[in-house]
Amino acid sequence: MDRRLKIYRELNPLDSENTTKHFFLKAIGSQNLAEIQADMPEADAFTLAKQVIEQTGKPCCLDLINEKDNKFLADLEKEKLRLKKEAEGQQ
């Protein structure tokens, strides 16, 4: 979501309500977009958001991991192994 908002802000420096709505309609499609009004009761807004978010099942953080994240995680593992080898070598 942060990545999409960053792209949106770069492409739309002069924001308006319709511009935002149209950007997300184009980016993720109307089936994935819920329009929640500010005066909507909180319980109704939550229910609507939950329906859209979970329409294809419960979301999973694995869907959000990209190649940069995988490289970072691999680097952490390499560092962990390096530290372990150093500790074994000092004993």
Mean pLDDT by 10 residues, the chain (91 residues): 77 70 82 83 90 77 78 92 88 70
Point out which residues pair with 87 in neighbouring strands.
none
Residue 54 and residue 47: Cα distance in Å, rounded? 10
In order, the DSSP letters of 40-72 are S-HHHHHHHHHHHHTBTBS--GGGG--HHHHHH
Supply the pLDDT for residue 81: 93
Q: And the tokens for 79? A: 């560092």
